[in-house]
């Protein structure tokens, strides 16, 4: 889905990255028995439909006005992108993982572990 998200910026890159993801991630999972081919097909179709819906949906004026007043720049954008990519890679369990790690670190620091 991240590869398809590059479509508005560079269509050739988007197609290439999508093909590489299909070849190196999806097909080996089908071969290993982790997914059926219909799973891969349906996820591709569903992902494209969601992206088209998001691209075509208007941004509410309230959100647009807030965004123009509170311009997030530089490192904040990098942090938001990193957290999104981290969540995507972890199957959206990253916050749970980070909270668990923070708890363990706090216990070690407090000397209880």
Number of domains in the chain: 2
Co-location of 9 and 43 in the same domain: yes
Compute the distance between CA of residue 50 and CA of residue 56 in angstroms, rounded to an integer.
10
Co-location of 34 and 86 in the same domain: no
pLDDT of residue 44: 82
Co-location of 100 and 71 in the same domain: yes
The residue range of the domain holding 110 is: 64-113
89-109 burial code (b ≥16 CB/10 A, e <16): eeeeebeeeeeeeeeeeeeee
pLDDT of residue 1: 66
99, 106 Cβ separation under 8 angstroms: no
pLDDT block averages, 10 residues each, the chain of length 113: 74 86 86 87 84 82 73 68 75 78 90 71
pLDDT of residue 74: 61
Co-location of 81 and 113 in the same domain: yes
User: In this structure, what token pair is assigned to residue 4?
Assistant: 């398809």
pLDDT of residue 40: 85
List the alpha helices (DSSP H) in 37-93.
37-56, 61-69, 75-89
pLDDT of residue 72: 62
pLDDT of residue 112: 73
């Amino acid at each position: 889905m991240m590869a398809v998200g590059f479509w508005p910026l560079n269509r050739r890159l988007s197609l290439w990255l999508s093909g590489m993801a299909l070849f190196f991630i999806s097909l080996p999972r089908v071969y290993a028995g982790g997914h059926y081919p219909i799973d891969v097909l349906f996820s591709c179709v569903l992902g494209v439909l969601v992206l088209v819906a998001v691209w075509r949906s208007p941004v509410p004026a309230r959100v647009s006005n807030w965004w123009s007043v509170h311009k997030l720049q530089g490192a904040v954008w990098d942090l938001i992108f990193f957290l999104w990519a981290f969540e995507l890679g972890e199957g959206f369990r990253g916050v749970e993982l980070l909270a668990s790690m923070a708890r363990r670190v706090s216990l070690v620091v407090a000397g209880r572990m």
